[in-house]
Amino acid sequence: MLLLLNSRGSLGFVLTITNTRIFQMVEHFHHVHLFTKDINTTINWWRDMLGGIVIYDGDFGGARNIFMRVGSGRIHFYEQSLRDDGKGAVHHLGIRTNNLEKLAKKLTDSGIKFRSNIHDFGAWKYIMCPAPDNVLLELFEVDENKLEGGAAEYFSDMP
C-alpha cells in the first residue's frame, strides 16, 4: 500500500498493490462544530487560553456563527443552547471532500442514510450523515475561488 499526498500535504489517495484508488474523494478532517450558549465568553476563552483567531463573525442559519482558527485547526461556533442529546456542545465533525456527489453515492450504495439531500450554496455544498458512536458528520465540498473574506480564509488550507 502506498499513501500519496496532494500538493497541500493532505492525503490525496491510497494505492493498493493493484493500483486501485481508495478514499481519493476525502481530502482531510477540517473542523469541529460546537454549540455555545454564551458565544462571547466561549470565544474569549479560546482566544485568551489557546491563541484562537476569529476569522469570521456573522449571522446565518438563524444564529450568530464564528469561525476560528486555533493553530492549523478550525472550530465553527454556533450560538445556541446545548441540546439534551448526550453530545454536549459537539454538533458535528466536518470532513472536506473534492467530489461530494461521488462520495455521497458511495456511502448511499453502502447503506448510509442521509438526513436530507445535498444543500448547495454555490461556493460550498454539504450533506450530513451519521457515523458510529452517535457522531454526526458534515461532508462538504468548497470552491475556494467563489469564497470571500473570513469564509475564504476559514476554508483555505493555508493559515
CB count within 10 Å of CB 153 equals 17
Q: Where are the alpha helices (DSSP H) in 24-157?
A: 39-50, 100-109, 149-155
The domains of the chain are located at 25-155
pLDDT in the model for residue 87: 66
Q: How far apart are CA 58 and CA 68, in angstroms?
A: 12
pLDDT in the model for residue 6: 43
Q: Which of 102, 48, 100, 57 is nearest to 78 (CA)?
A: 57
114 in helix, strand or coil?
coil
CATH number assigned to the domain with residue range 25-155, chosen from the 4 options 1.10.760.10, 3.30.930.10, 3.10.180.10, 3.40.50.720: 3.10.180.10
Whether 112 contacts 129, CB under 8 Å:
yes
- pLDDT tens digit sequence for 88-123: 778 888 888 889 999 899 889 888 889 899 999 999
- pLDDT tens digit sequence for 44-97: 888 887 688 999 999 988 999 999 987 778 889 999 887 776 667 788 888 888
The CA-CA-CA angle for residues 150, 36, 54, to 5°, reads 25
Q: How far apart are CA 129 and CA 114, in angstroms?
A: 5
DSSP state of 145: G
**Torsions phi, psi for 87 (to 5 deg):** -95, -10
- pLDDT tens digit sequence for 15-39: 334 444 545 667 777 888 888 888 9
Q: Which cell is 75 given?
A: 472550530
pLDDT in the model for residue 50: 67
Using pLDDT thresholds of 50, 70 and 90, give the confidence band for residue 3. very low
